[in-house]
Structure 1
Amino acid sequence: MVALDTLRNINKNLASVQNEISTGKKVSSAKDNAAIWAISTVMSTDVESFKTISDSLNLGSSTVGVARSAAEAVTENLQSIKNLIVSAQQSNVDRDKIQADIDELTKGIQTSVSGAQFNGLNLLDGSSSADVDFLASLDRSSSGTVSASYISVGRQDLSLSNSATAATFGTTANADQTIIDSGVNSGTATSAAAGGTLDIAIASVADGNSYRILLNDSATNNTLGQRTFEYVAGSSDSADSVAANLANQISTYLSATGETNYSVSRTDGTITIANASGAALAVTATATTGGTAGTSTGGLGNLATIDVTTDAGATAALTAIEGLLQTSIDAASALGSSQKRIENQGEFVNSLVDAMTTGIGGLTDADMEAASARLQALQVQQQLGVQALSIANSAPQQLLSLFR
């Protein structure tokens, strides 16, 4: 019995070592070490979230980079316009041809600004003054509470015009404020029951229209806070593609932050927001149309007034172009600073993922050299245990031979 018990213990230890070697983990499940497994699992989920955040930062860097490049191109065109204006200060030049060149450069600036979009978001066209937030980090407190941090990038207005008029979003002009609550799509609902859904239908799409959805539970659950998702439609967009882009933005955000109270789905041009929490979620859906030239002055609106065909016009243009150049330079500088900050955060997140992965490995990975040595030792012990058990089993036979 002693030999049998010894052999059982050896086989148990041997199975444990073989599991370490086959999985590469000394803690591969909760039964191995519940505390270490729990810590490593939480850290592993954070690592996956930070990988998604890295993608978000790459998207943000690309978006801001496109706007910065466009702002720098606008600055170069404005410098060329300034050179032409300086040439027009003389009275013995063909000012009409100089003005024609200025008009063409102005059109080039318009093209650069309108084309400075990445994934439908334009930071230069003056369609909105609201900052754009890019997911930058997940902050876990000592109590286990997780909150999201953002990098806010200010929009710049380098448009010649940026007028905006009321637009149709669903069946309501300009804004549709409602509460997701018990499946009742009504702004008068006051109950905080779970299980509610809200359909947001995009009725019409036009080139340059900006579509925005604001989710806000800061007054109730405050797990989501206030978050805005926006898409600017292009000439090839439809209600389906606009809805798909907005739904994808919301879904990516919820997945990255681990938010489980809310979810999003889409059917054609209709976005469905589902609330699985026990409190109301405020939803604001707005759309704004792009303006028409000359109805409202943008950041470079004074370009439209430059006329060097007269002495007075040439003199006034020299003063105006300095202000326009400074506006463009400031915009490019601000966007460059924001892009650098996003890229630095991206590098930090990548380093953080590496450090966390190393830490998780230190908690759970097996020491393969030690495990290999233990395996060989246990195999020898197993062979000796079998032999000891065989000797023990033969002892009764030897005892019986004494009675023959």
Structure 2
Amino acid sequence: MASIMTNASALTALQSLNATNKNLETTQSRISTGYRVAEASDNAAYWSIATTMRSDKSSLSVVQDTLGLGASKVDTAYTNINKTIDTVNAIKDKLVAASGASTADKAKIQVEVSALQASLKMTSDGATAAGSNWLSVDTTSGQTAAGTHDDAKIVAAYTRNSAGKVALQTIDVDVQSVKLYEAYASATNTEKGILDGTRLASSGARDNTAVATVGNAAAAATDGYAVSTLTVVGFNDTQIADMINVVDTASKELTDAATKLGAAKVRIDLQKNSTQSLMDSIDRGVGQLVDADMNKESTRLQALQVQQQLGIQALSIANGNSQSILSLFR
């Protein structure tokens, strides 16, 4: 039936052209943005998942920065403890030389010992990184107990469980076991550092019963020495032998402290690599969800452009059909 009121062919052609234009607009948007899911309206589920993953990656990036900062602190403490071990061993060598030496020679040896002791304090005070010093500390305020130091915590991981709950994991460094000097005036010998804590002459261990030994005095169970303050002037060979024992024990504790810091350094390096790998994995996962396949979209664009041209042509032909009705009245 020929009708001038309803052009069914034109309506069909128009619907087809509108569908083609809509698909063309979608394809052009994907090509211009690089995403097939750029907004929630494109695919709500994929957009939501990708947004959460991007948020997690941003948090992991902060964790990566925190690990770098923590690595700087650990490296600084580790390097300075290694220097300290060499200096303490040098003090032990001077004590060995002082054994059996004359009074005049002991005075000369003490000049060298004092210089090494001053170097120890400078090395510890200089072990500051990002405002933190784990070797020369002052827990006058904020300590968990008198003279003790909280563990240093380095944020090392950001995790999300299957329920969507977020948690942070840390690498902890026991500052109490690695510190060399404690500025807290009321700290006991066991609360002080490896170098300034007074140690029993008999065992070499830091002990709260240990008191500073008097030169050439009769031996007592409470006789004690601190690596940072010991002196050979006025002390007999038996007492110097006790000093050697004290310094040797302190050297072993320094080695243990360096081992702990070295282990923390390894953990941080491993976690940095792991975090970077996880960030790369998230990038790949997000890409698989929302990135547009440019090869596919470019091919689709060319096809749609042809369909658009054909649709326009079909609509033009359909609109021309109405003109043919005029010929019936000639």
TM-score category, normalised to shorter length: 0.7 to 0.9
Match of 1:308 in 2: 232
Equivalent residues of 1:307, 1:313 under 8 A apart: no
Give the aligned partner of residue 86 of structure 2. Answer: 76
Change over 3 Å in CA distance of 1:31–1:146 after alignment to 2:
same
How many residues are treated as equivalent by the alignment? 278
Give 1:264-343 correspondences, 5 Å limit: 297-301=192-196, 302-309=226-233, 310-343=236-269
The structure that has the greater radius of gyration is 2
Cross-structure match for 1:34: 44
Deviations 1:325-354 (A, max 9, x none): 111111111111111111211111111111
After TM superposition, the structure 1 = structure 2 runs for residues 143-182 of structure 1, keeping only pairs within 5 Å, are 143-155=163-175, 156-164=177-185
Segments of 5+ residues of structure 2 without an aligned counterpart are 1-10, 139-147, 197-225
- What's the counterpart of residue 64 of structure 1? 74
Q: Is 1:114 aligned with 2:125? A: yes
Deviation at 1:56, TM superposition (A): 0.7
| 1:60-80 Cα distance to aligned partner (Å, 9 max, x none) | 111111111111111111111
CA distance in 2: counterparts of 1:157 and 1:146, whole angstroms: 32
CA–CA distance in 2 between the matches of 1:350 and 1:145?
A: 21
Runs of 5+ unmatched residues, structure 1:
166-290
Please tell me whether the aligned partners of residues 134 and 179 of structure 2 are also in contact (alpha carbons under 8 angstroms).
no
Check 1:12–1:304 CA distance in 2 against 1; reply closer, same or farther (3 A cut): closer
In the alignment, is the contact (CA less than 8 A) between 2:135 and 2:181 conserved in 1? no
Q: Are the aligned partners of 1:26 and 1:32 in contact in 2 as well (CA < 8 Å)?
A: yes
Structure having the higher strand fraction is 1
Instruction: Give the 3-state SS of the residue equivalent to 1:152 in structure 2.
Output: strand
Whichever structure has more helix as a proportion of its residues is 2
Letter in 2 for 1:348: S
CA-CA distance at 1:305 after TM superposition? 4.7
> Secondary structure of the equivalent of 1:31?
coil
Residues 170-220 of structure 1 show CA distances to partners (whole Å, capped at 9, x for unaligned) of xxxxxxxxxxxxxxxxxxxxxxxxxxxxxxxxxxxxxxxxxxxxxxxxxxx
Match of 2:326 in 1: 400
CA pair 304-16 structure 1, distance change in 2 beyond 3 A: closer
- Aligned partners of 2:66, 2:182: CA distance in 1, in Å? 31
Paired with 1:81 and 1:111, the residues of 2 have a C-alpha distance of: 15
**C-alpha RMSD of matched pairs (Å):** 2.1
Secondary structure, aligned partner of 2:136: coil
Shift of 1:362: 0.7
Match of 1:8 among 12, 15, 18: 18
Q: What is the distance in 1 between the residues matched to 2:317 and 2:181? A: 99
Q: 1:94 is paired with a residue of what secondary structure?
A: helix
1:19 matched to 2:29? yes
State the TM-score, normalizing by the size of structure 1. 0.65
Equivalent residue for 1:363? 289
Cα distance between partner residues in 1 of 2:126 and 2:168: 31
Partner of 1:389: 315
The amino acid across from 2:72 in the alignment is: S
4+ residue runs over 4 A deviation: none
Measure how far apart 1:160 and its partner are. Answer: 4.5
Shift of 1:59: 0.7
Deviates more, 1:327-336 or 1:39-48: 327-336
Question: Is 1:350 paired with 2:276?
Answer: yes
Q: What amino acid is aligned across from residue 134 of structure 1 in structure 2?
A: I
